[in-house]
C-alpha cells in the first residue's frame, strides 16, 4: 500500500484495524484532532480525494491509492487557504481544538450547503464559540481591530495563536512526537461499590511489550483530593491514586504501561480482579437516609468529611431574621422544588498528558490542565519529590470549563514515568471522559420566597441537596458558592439556607463553569419571577426594587463568610435596562397556533475571584530586540487570556502587542499561579501583569538600566460582576418542541479589555448553558452505570441547535480589577436555565422545574393542560 498525504507519498503501513486519523497523526499530521473518536464531532475531518470525511471512522487501509488532504495541506506550500484566512479574520475559534476539522469542512461546502449550515455543519461540534463567529467566517466578516502602541486595552485584538490554530500547527497536549513513547490504558471497575480482594496481573505482565502494571499495591496510600485549590483544606481527603476499594463504575483499578495502546488494552483484558461486591446507593436522598450503604466509612471531620456515616461530605445551615414568620405574613409567597441533571463539560480535548524524566532527573509532565502549579505541588507531595524536581506545563489546552481544575491523570503519568524511566502518554477516551472524570453537581433545590404587597422581598430560603458522586472534589466549595451569590444579590431581611452534599456510588462531580450557581439560580430566579407575576409587577421592576445597590452588604446566611468582597463597580441596573430595551423589540415569526410564545429573564451576580486565595505572579523582562518577555502562569484553553495579558502589558508599557512575548503556564518559568479557574485569568493574573508592567515602567524611569519587574496579585479584595439574560421562546403545545426566538444577554464586566473576546465568552457561555438547559443529560441506570457515554447519545449543541445571542455591555470601571476590568468567563452561563424556565412559564403558565427541557419531558404537562397532540 502507498499513501499520498498532502501531496507527499508515504510508504509506512497502518495497523490492520487502525483508523485513518491515528495513522495520519502517527505520520506527524497533528492538525487532525481526536475529539470523540466515534464520528460525532468532526475534529478529525480530512479530505479524501477532495471530499470531506471523518478520518476516525475510515479504515486506514482504505486510503491506499487515494489522496488525503489534512488541514496542514489545505493551502498551497506558501500562503494560507482563503477559509483559513476567513477564520482568522472572524476569529472563528476559542480553544481552537475543533478548528482544523471545521475549516476543512467549511472549505469543502458548495453554495447549497452554505445556505443550509444547520444541516451541513451537524457533523462539526464546537464547544466554545456558540458558532456565531464560525458563521461570520463563512460570511466573510472580520471581527478584529488593530491598535496603536500603548492603546491595545479595549480593542478587539486577535488571539496571538490564531495563525497556528487555523493552520493546524498549534500544539495541543498530544501533538508532539517522542521517541520511545509508552502508552497507558486503565482497567476500570465494573462495579459501583466493591472491595478489591486480589489483582492477578501475571498474564498481563507476561505479555511482550508490557512494561508495567500499576495497582494500589504500587501507589502511596496518601489521601488527597483530585480538586485543585490554592488551599488544599477546601476539599476532603478521600481519594487515593489507586484504591483497594472502588466506589463507582469506571474507577481506576490497574494501569498498564505498554509499547502501544493496543498491547495495553489487551493486557487490561488479561488482568484478573476478584471483588467483594458491596451494597451501593445512587440517589443522594437515599444516600443521606439512615441505613444507607456508607461509602467512606473511615473518614472523619479530620479528613474534612462532615458526616461520613450519613454520606454527607459537607453541609451548611444558617438563618438570619425569621423566615417562617416572614413567609406567614407575606402578601405573596412561592415554594417550588427544582432539579438539575448531571452534565459533562464536553471540552473537545480529553484529559491526558505525557510524562518523562529528563537528563537532569526532573519529572516533566505536559498536561491538559487548568492548574499546572497546583498539580505540580500535589505531585511533589504525593511522591515526596522536591518541587524543583517536578515540572508541569501546558502549551495549548483544548477546552476546560472547570473539568481541568482537577488532577485526574498526572498522578498515574508520574508514577508510570518514574517506574519505567521512559516517556509515557495517557490520553483518555471520550467514554472515559463521561464515566470517570467529573461532571456538574446534580442538585435538588427547594426554594421558598415571599414579598409584601409593595413588591419588597420578605423572605428567601433554600434547601439544597447536592450529589457529589463517589468523591468529594469541589463538593463543599460548589455547595457554598451555590448558596452565596444567588441569595446575596437580593436585599431581604430574612434568609435561610440548609444545604447538604452527599456521596453516592456514581461518577464524581467536580468544578464546572458557574460552580453551583446555575443550579440554585434556576430555583431562586423562578421564585423571584413568580412573586413578580403574582403581584402584577414587571420582572424587571421587581428585580430593580430588590437587588443590592452600591454600598449594600451582600448577605447570605450560610457558608463561610467572607468580608473581602466589595462592589468595585455596579452595572446591574444597566444590565436590566439593556435587556429590557432589547426585549421590547418585537420578533417576527410565522409560527402557527400550536406555538405559545413567552418572555423570561434571570440575573446573576458572581464574585470576581474564588474565595480563600487566588495568587498570580508575573515577570516582565526587557528583551534585546526592544520587546518584552511576559511570563505568566495562567493557562490558555480558549478563555482568551493570552490576548488580554499582552494587551494589558502593551498598554501599560506603551508598546505594541507584537512586542510582548508571552511565556505561559509552565512551572519551570518560576513564580506561582493558582490557576485558570474561577474566571481569574484576567482579574487576578491580569492584575499581576498590570502590576509588573507598572513596576517596570517606574523602575525604568528611575534607572534606565532596569531590566525586569515582578508583579503579584493575591486575589483579594474581590469585586462582583453581573449578567442578565433574556429569552423569547415559542413552545409547541402539540410536540413540546422549543424554539428560541430571541436571546439577549447584558454583562457588567467592568472596563472591557477586548470586546470581541468578551462577546465570544458570553455567546459561548450561553451556548453551553443552552445545551444543559435543552438537551444534555447524563443518564445513570439503576446499577450506577452511565447509559450514554458518547456524543451520539449525549447531545452537545450543534450549529442548528443554537440561536444567536445579542450581547450588550454595561459601561462601568472597576475600582479593583486591572485597568477597570472584571472577570467574565463563567457567569454568562449562569442565568440561562433560569431565564428559559421563566420564559416557558410566561408562554404556557406551567412552571417546569426540571432541566433539560426536552420535548418528551415537558410534553406530558403540556398535554394535560392543552389537550391532545
Partner 1 sequence: MDLNTVTSVARPTTREQLPTWSAGDAWLAGGTWLFSEPQTHLTRLIDLTDLKWPALTVTDKELQIAATCTVAQLDALPCPPDWIASPLINQCCRAFLASFKIWKTATVGGNLCMSLPAGPMIALTAALDGVCTIWKADGSVDTIDVVDFVTGDQSNVLMPGDLLRSIAIPLAAFKRRSAFRQISLTPVGRSAALLIGSLDEDGLRLTITASTKRPVRIALPTLPDTDTFEEAILDRVPDNLYHDDVHGKPAWRKQMTLRLAEEIRAELQGFRP
Ligand X SMILES: Cc1cc2nc3c(=O)[nH]c(=O)nc-3n(C[C@H](O)[C@H](O)[C@H](O)COP(=O)(O)OP(=O)(O)OC[C@H]3O[C@@H](n4cnc5c(N)ncnc54)[C@H](O)[C@@H]3O)c2cc1C
Q: Counting contacts by CB under 8 A, is residue 780 touching partner 1?
A: no
Nearest distance from residue 424's CB to partner 1, in Å? 18
787 makes contact, choosing from ligand FES, partner 1, ligand X, none, with CB < 5 to 8 Å by partner type, with: partner 1
855 makes contact, choosing from ligand X, ligand FES, partner 1, none, with CB < 5 to 8 Å by partner type, with: partner 1
Q: Counting contacts by CB under 6 A, is residue 80 touching ligand X?
A: no
Contact by Cβ (8 Å): 225, 473: yes
* Per-residue mark of binding to partner 1, 122-151 (x: CB under 8 A): xxx---------------------------
* Per-residue mark of binding to partner 1, 48-77 (x: CB under 8 A): ---xxxx-xxxx-xx---------------
Q: Counting contacts by CB under 6 A, is residue 516 touching ligand FES?
A: no
Contact by Cβ (8 Å): 340, 524: no
Q: Counting contacts by CB under 6 A, is residue 41 touching ligand FES?
A: yes
Q: Counting contacts by CB under 6 A, is residue 101 touching ligand X?
A: no
784 makes contact, choosing from ligand FES, ligand X, partner 1, none, with CB < 5 to 8 Å by partner type, with: none
Q: List Cβ neighbours of 608 (8 Å cut-off, separation of 6 or more).
A: 568, 679, 683, 718, 719, 720, 721, 814, 816, 817, 822, 823
Nearest distance from residue 34's CB to ligand FES, in Å? 5
Q: In whole angstroms, give the CA distance from residue 616 to residue 670.
A: 11
DSSP state of 821: B
Nearest distance from residue 785's CB to ligand X, in Å? 22
842 makes contact, choosing from partner 1, ligand X, ligand FES, none, with CB < 5 to 8 Å by partner type, with: none
Nearer to partner 1, 719 or 805 (CB): 805
Residue pointed to by grid coordinates 502518554: 425
Contact by Cβ (8 Å): 727, 831: no
Residue pointed to by grid coordinates 495497523: 15
Q: Of 620-679, which residues contact ligand FES (CB under 6 A)?
A: 638
Nearest distance from residue 801's CB to ligand FES, in Å? 15
Q: Counting contacts by CB under 6 A, is residue 48 touching ligand X?
A: no
Nearest distance from residue 57's CB to ligand FES, in Å? 7
Residue nearest to ligand X (CB): 39
Nearest distance from residue 63's CB to ligand X, in Å? 16
Q: Of 448-467, which residues contact ligand X (CB under 6 A)?
A: none
Q: Counting contacts by CB under 8 A, is residue 801 touching partner 1?
A: yes
- Could you list the beta-strand ranges (E) of 373-441: 390-393, 424-427
Q: Is 311 left (phi over 0), alpha (psi -120 to 50) or beta?
A: left
**Residue among 413, 397, 416 nearest 350 (CA):** 397
Nearest distance from residue 797's CB to ligand FES, in Å? 12
Q: In whole angstroms, give the CA distance from residue 92 to residue 95.
A: 10
Concatenate the DSSP letters of all residues of 310-329 into one string: GTEEEEEEEEES-HHHHHHT
Q: Counting contacts by CB under 6 A, is residue 46 touching ligand FES?
A: no
Nearest distance from residue 798's CB to ligand X, in Å? 11
Q: Counting contacts by CB under 8 A, is residue 38 touching partner 1?
A: yes
* Edge-to-edge strand ranges of the sheet holding 8-10: 8-10, 3-5, 67-69, 45-48, 51-54
DSSP state of 774: I
Q: Counting contacts by CB under 8 A, is residue 795 touching partner 1?
A: yes
Number of residues that bind partner 1 (CB under 8 A): 62
Which stretch, 125-133, 198-206, 738-746, 835-843, contacts ligand FES (CB under 6 A)?
Answer: 125-133
Q: Counting contacts by CB under 8 A, is residue 544 touching partner 1?
A: no
395 makes contact, choosing from ligand X, ligand FES, partner 1, none, with CB < 5 to 8 Å by partner type, with: none
The only residue of 29, 35, 40, 798 in contact with ligand X, by rule CB under 6 A? 40
Helix (H, G, I), strand (E, B) or coil at 219: coil
Beta bridge partners of 252: 188
Which stretch, 122-130, 377-385, 581-589, 591-599, contacts ligand FES (CB under 6 A)?
Answer: 122-130
Q: Is 360 left (phi over 0), alpha (psi -120 to 50) or beta?
A: alpha
Helix (H, G, I), strand (E, B) or coil at 578: helix
Side-chain-side CA neighbours of residue 783 (13 Å): 9
CA distances from 30 to 24, 35, 46, 102, 636 (A): 8, 13, 12, 15, 19
Q: Counting contacts by CB under 8 A, is residue 854 touching partner 1?
A: yes
Burial environment of residue 610 by CB neighbours within 10 A (0 to 12, 13 to 18, 19 or more): buried
**Residue among 770, 748, 759 nearest 807 (CA):** 759
Contact by Cβ (8 Å): 87, 96: no
Phi, psi (5° rounding) for residue 524? -60, -45
Nearer to ligand FES, 399 or 611 (CB): 399
Nearest distance from residue 731's CB to partner 1, in Å? 14
3-state helix, strand, coil in the chain (%, to 5): 30, 25, 45
The only residue of 26, 48, 57, 734 in contact with ligand X, by rule CB under 6 A? 57
Burial letters for 102-137: b for 16+ Cβ neighbours within 10 Å, e otherwise?
bbbbbbbbeeeeeeebeebbebbbbbbbbbbbbbbb
121 makes contact, choosing from ligand FES, ligand X, partner 1, none, with CB < 5 to 8 Å by partner type, with: partner 1
The H or E element containing residue 715 is none
Q: Report the first-to-last Cα separation within the chain, whole angstroms.
A: 58
Q: Counting contacts by CB under 6 A, is residue 129 touching ligand FES?
A: yes
Which stretch, 90-98, 578-586, 588-596, 704-712, contacts ligand FES (CB under 6 A)?
Answer: 90-98
Q: Of 689-748, which residues contact partner 1 (CB under 8 A)?
A: 734-737
43 makes contact, choosing from ligand FES, ligand X, partner 1, none, with CB < 5 to 8 Å by partner type, with: ligand FES
The only residue of 27, 46, 53, 56 in contact with ligand FES, by rule CB under 6 A? 56
62 makes contact, choosing from ligand FES, partner 1, ligand X, none, with CB < 5 to 8 Å by partner type, with: partner 1
Q: Counting contacts by CB under 8 A, is residue 667 touching partner 1?
A: no
Q: In whole angstroms, give the CA distance from residue 406 to residue 734.
A: 44
Angle 34-36-41 (CA atoms, 0-180°, nearest 5)?
95
Q: Counting contacts by CB under 6 A, is residue 794 touching ligand FES?
A: no
The only residue of 2, 15, 221, 387 in contact with partner 1, by rule CB under 8 A? 15
Nearest distance from residue 87's CB to ligand FES, in Å? 10
Q: How many CB atoms lie within 10 A of CB 474?
A: 31
Nearest distance from residue 791's CB to ligand X, in Å? 8
Q: Counting contacts by CB under 6 A, is residue 37 touching ligand X?
A: no
Question: Cell numbers of 482, please?
Answer: 451555590
Q: Go through the chain and tell me how many residues it has.
A: 869
Nearer to ligand X, 46 or 744 (CB): 46
126 makes contact, choosing from ligand X, partner 1, ligand FES, none, with CB < 5 to 8 Å by partner type, with: ligand FES
Contact by Cβ (8 Å): 336, 847: yes
The only residue of 5, 20, 24, 36 in contact with ligand FES, by rule CB under 6 A? 36
Q: Which residues bind partner 1 (CB under 8 A)?
A: 15-19, 22, 37-40, 42, 45, 51-54, 56-59, 61-62, 105, 113, 118-124, 261-262, 265-266, 269, 429, 734-737, 774-775, 777, 779, 787-788, 792-795, 798, 800-801, 854-857, 859-860, 863, 869
Q: Which residues bind ligand X (CB under 6 A)?
A: 39-40, 57, 792
Q: Which residues bind ligand FES (CB under 6 A)?
A: 34-37, 39-44, 54, 56, 93-98, 126-129, 348, 399, 638
Amino acid at each position: 500500500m502507498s499513501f499520498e498525504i498532502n501531496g507527499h507519498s508515504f510508504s509506512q503501513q497502518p495497523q490492520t484495524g487502525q483508523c485513518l486519523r491515528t495513522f495520519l497523526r502517527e505520520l506527524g499530521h497533528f492538525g487532525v484532532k481526536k475529539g470523540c473518536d466515534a464520528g460525532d464531532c468532526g475534529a478529525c475531518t480530512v479530505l479524501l480525494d477532495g471530499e470531506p470525511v471523518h478520518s476516525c471512522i475510515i479504515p486506514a487501509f482504505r486510503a491506499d491509492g487515494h489522496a488525503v488532504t489534512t488541514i496542514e495541506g489545505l493551502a498551497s506550500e506558501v500562503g494560507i487557504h482563503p477559509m483559513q484566512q476567513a477564520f482568522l479574520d472572524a476569529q472563528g475559534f476559542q480553544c481552537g481544538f475543533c478548528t482544523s476539522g471545521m475549516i476543512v469542512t467549511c472549505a469543502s461546502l458548495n453554495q447549497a450547503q452554505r445556505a443550509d449550515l444547520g444541516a451541513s455543519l451537524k457533523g462539526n461540534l464546537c464547544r466554545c464559540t456558540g458558532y456565531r463567529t464560525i458563521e461570520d467566517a463563512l460570511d466573510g466578516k472580520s471581527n478584529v481591530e488593530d491598535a496603536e502602541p500603548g492603546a491595545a486595552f479595549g480593542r478587539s485584538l486577535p488571539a496571538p495563536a490564531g495563525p497556528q490554530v487555523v493552520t493546524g500547527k498549534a500544539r495541543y497536549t498530544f501533538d508532539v512526537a517522542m521517541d520511545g513513547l509508552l502508552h497507558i490504558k486503565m482497567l476500570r471497575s465494573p462495579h459501583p461499590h466493591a472491595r478489591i480482594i486480589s489483582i492477578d496481573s501475571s498474564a498481563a505482565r507476561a505479555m511482550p511489550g508490557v512494561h508495567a502494571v500499576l495497582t494500589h499495591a504500587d501507589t502511596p496510600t496518601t489521601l488527597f483530593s483530585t480538586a485543585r485549590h490554592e488551599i488544599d483544606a477546601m476539599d476532603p481527603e478521600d481519594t487515593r491514586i489507586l484504591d483497594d476499594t472502588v466506589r463507582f463504575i469506571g474507577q481506576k483499578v490497574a494501569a498498564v504501561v505498554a509499547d502501544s495502546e493496543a498491547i495495553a488494552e489487551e493486557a487490561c483484558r488479561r488482568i484478573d480482579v476478584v471483588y467483594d461486591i458491596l451494597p451501593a446507593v445512587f440517589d443522594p436522598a437515599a444516600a443521606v437516609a439512615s441505613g444507607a450503604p456508607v461509602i467512606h466509612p473511615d473518614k472523619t471531620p479530620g479528613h474534612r468529611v462532615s458526616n461520613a456515616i450519613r454520606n454527607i461530605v459537607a453541609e451548611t445551615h444558617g438563618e438570619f431574621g425569621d423566615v417562617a414568620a416572614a413567609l406567614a405574613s407575606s402578601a405573596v409567597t412561592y415554594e417550588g422544588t427544582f432539579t438539575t441533571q448531571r452534565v459533562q463539560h464536553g471540552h473537545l480535548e480529553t484529559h491526558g498528558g505525557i510524562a518523562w524524566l529528563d537528563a537532569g532527573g526532573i519529572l516533566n509532565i505536559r498536561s491538559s490542565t487548568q492548574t499546572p502549579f497546583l498539580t505540580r505541588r500535589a505531585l511533589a507531595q504525593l511522591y515526596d519529590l522536591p518541587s524543583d524536581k517536578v515540572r508541569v506545563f501546558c502549551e495549548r489546552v483544548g477546552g476546560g470549563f472547570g473539568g481541568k481544575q482537577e488532577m485526574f491523570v498526572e498522578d498515574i503519568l508520574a508514577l508510570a514515568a518514574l517506574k519505567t524511566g521512559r516517556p509515557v502518554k495517557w490520553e483518555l477516551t471520550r467514554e472515559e471522559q463521561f464515566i470517570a472524570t467529573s461532571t456538574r453537581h446534580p442538585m435538588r433545590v427547594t426554594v421558598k420566597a415571599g414579598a409584601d404587597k409593595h413588591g419588597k422581598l420578605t423572605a428567601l430560603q433554600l434547601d439544597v441537596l447536592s450529589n457529589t458522586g463517589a468523591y468529594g472534589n469541589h463538593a463543599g466549595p460548589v455547595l457554598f458558592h451555590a448558596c452565596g451569590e444567588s441569595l446575596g444579590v437580593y436585599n431581604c431581611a430574612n434568609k435561610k439556607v440548609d444545604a447538604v452534599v452527599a456521596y453516592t456510588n456514581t461518577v464524581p462531580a467536580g468544578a464546572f463553569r458557574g460552580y453551583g450557581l446555575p443550579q440554585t439560580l434556576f430555583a431562586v430566579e423562578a421564585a423571584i419571577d413568580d412573586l413578580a407575576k403574582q403581584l402584577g409587577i414587571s420582572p424587571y421592576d421587581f428585580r430593580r426594587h430588590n437587588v443590592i445597590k452600591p454600598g449594600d452588604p451582600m448577605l447570605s446566611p450560610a457558608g463561610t463568610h467572607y468580608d473581602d468582597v466589595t462592589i468595585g463597580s455596579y452595572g446591574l441596573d444597566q444590565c436590566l435596562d439593556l435587556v429590557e430595551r432589547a426585549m421590547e423589540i418585537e420578533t417576527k415569526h410565522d409560527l402557527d397556533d400550536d406555538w405559545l410564545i413567552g418572555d423570561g429573564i434571570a440575573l446573576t451576580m458572581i464574585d470576581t475571584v474564588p474565595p480563600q486565595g487566588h495568587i498570580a505572579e508575573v515577570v516582565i523582562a526587557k528583551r534585546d530586540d526592544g520587546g518584552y518577555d511576559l511570563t505568566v502562569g495562567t493557562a490558555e484553553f480558549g478563555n482568551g487570556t493570552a490576548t488580554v495579558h499582552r494587551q494589558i502589558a502593551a498598554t501599560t508599557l506603551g508598546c505594541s502587542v507584537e512586542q510582548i512575548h508571552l511565556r505561559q503556564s509552565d512551572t519551570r518559568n518560576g513564580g506561582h499561579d493558582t490557576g485558570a479557574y474561577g474566571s481569574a485569568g484576567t482579574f487576578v493574573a491580569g492584575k499581576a501583569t498590570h502590576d509588573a508592567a507598572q513596576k517596570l515602567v517606574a523602575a525604568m524611569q528611575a534607572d534606565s538600566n532596569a531590566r525586569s519587574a515582578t508583579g503579584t496579585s493575591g486575589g483579594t479584595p474581590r469585586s462582583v460582576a453581573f449578567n442578565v439574560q433574556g429569552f423569547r421562546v415559542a413552545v409547541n403545545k402539540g410536540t413540546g418542541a422549543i424554539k428560541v426566538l430571541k436571546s439577549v444577554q447584558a454583562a457588567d464586566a467592568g472596563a472591557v479589555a477586548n470586546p470581541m473576546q468578551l462577546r465570544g465568552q458570553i455567546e459561548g457561555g450561553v451556548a453551553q448553558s443552552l445545551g444543559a438547559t435543552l438537551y444534555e443529560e447524563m443518564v445513570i441506570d439503576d446499577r450506577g452505570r452511565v447509559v450514554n457515554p458518547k456524543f451520539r447519545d449525549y447531545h452537545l449543541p450543534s450549529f442548528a441547535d443554537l440561536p444567536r445571542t445579542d450581547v450588550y455591555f454595561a459601561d462601568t470601571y472597576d475600582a479593583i480589577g486591572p485597568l477597570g476590568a472584571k472577570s467574565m468567563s463563567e457567569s454568562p452561563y449562569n442565568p440561562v436555565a433560569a431565564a428559559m424556565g421563566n420564559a416557558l412559564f410566561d408562554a404556557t403558565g406551567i412552571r417546569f422545574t426540571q432541566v433539560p427541557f426536552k420535548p418528551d419531558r415537558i410534553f406530558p404537562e403540556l398535554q394535560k393542560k392543552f389537550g391532545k397532540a
